[in-house]
Amino acid sequence: MNSTVKVIVGATATGKTRRALEVAKIGNGEIINCDSLQLYNELKILTALPTEEEMATVTHKLFGYLNYDQKTSSVDWAKLAAGAIQETIGSGKIPIIAGGTGLYVKTLIEGVSPMPIISAKNRQKAEELSVYDFSAMCEELYSFDPNLRHMLPQSMHHQLIRAYEIFLETGKSIRYFWSLPKMQFIQNVDFEIEVIHCERTILYERIAHRFEQMLYNGAIDEVRNLLSKITIKNPKEIFMTFPIFKAIGAKEITMFLNGIYTFEQMKETSIKNSRHYAKRQITWFKHQIKHCRREMIV
């Protein structure tokens, strides 16, 4: 008989943390993070990391274990998540995966095609080109495999860097590796997926209120402290080097601290970008997560 793994996903500010806590308390569960930015120990306010009080009520796993200068991937996370799931099941409790990074959930459930090991030389070359001439890097990929232009648009920054690393290493398109049989991370479990939805007007109000609360709680000082650890001073280079700056508000506050944005511009841009991110998440979950799912309106 397979064990059950509960999965709670949805757009930003829909109340996933609250819902996961409710389910964990009622069902003797442990919460496993699947938000790529909540893996980081820095920017706890901007990434809406569960509070110490929330973490004290039930066991939380895979939260805040990366430093700002570390990088990871959906595969790295899926391996750790599989171990956390098995550990939780072994202790007689129910694993509850919660977060908003849909690719992580998809990777864990469906598996991934095997990818080649990238040499340090090619990884560095791809990273440097992505910083200094990202468009040229993309055009080289698109010229080699025109299908990638639509499958990996330039907004998919980190995925394109990965595709370019593979191109440098093997001389093949990443699509070749996508076509190979997938590697599975966990077996003998059934995933029960709950996608949380919120009426769009209410969701946008929540997003605005939450960001204002983040500012009140010290988000600006949080970003200032992080920037003090980084020797790079050019904002664009910082954003392209450290994935943690994908946290909504991190780039905008950095621009404010560098005198590029006013306070109001920073706040308005952060809220607008958060709304756009929520729309992308809603679309993604609608089309990509179909496995044993049910909808929940909050």
Same-domain status, 8 and 92: yes
Number of domains in the chain: 3
User: 104: domain CATH number?
Assistant: 3.40.50.300
DSSP state letter for 152? S
Q: What pTM value is reported for the model?
A: 0.85
Residues with Cβ within 8 Å of residue 63, at least 6 apart in sequence: 33, 38, 39, 49, 50, 55
Same-domain status, 23 and 79: yes
Give the CA diameter of the chain.
59
Domain range for 251: 200-279
Same-domain status, 204 and 194: no
Each residue of 219-265: pLDDT tens digit?
Answer: 999 999 999 999 999 999 999 899 999 999 999 999 999 999 999 99
Q: Cβ-count burial of 46 within 10 angstroms (0-12 exposed, 13-18 middle, 19+ buried)?
A: buried
Question: Tokens 């990391």 map to which residue?
Answer: 49
User: 239: domain CATH number?
Assistant: 1.10.287.890
pLDDT (0 to 100) of residue 297: 56
Q: What are phi and psi of 286, to 5 degrees?
A: -65, -40
Same-domain status, 63 and 191: yes
% of the chain exceeding 70 in pLDDT: 97
Question: Tokens 């004290």 map to which residue?
Answer: 56
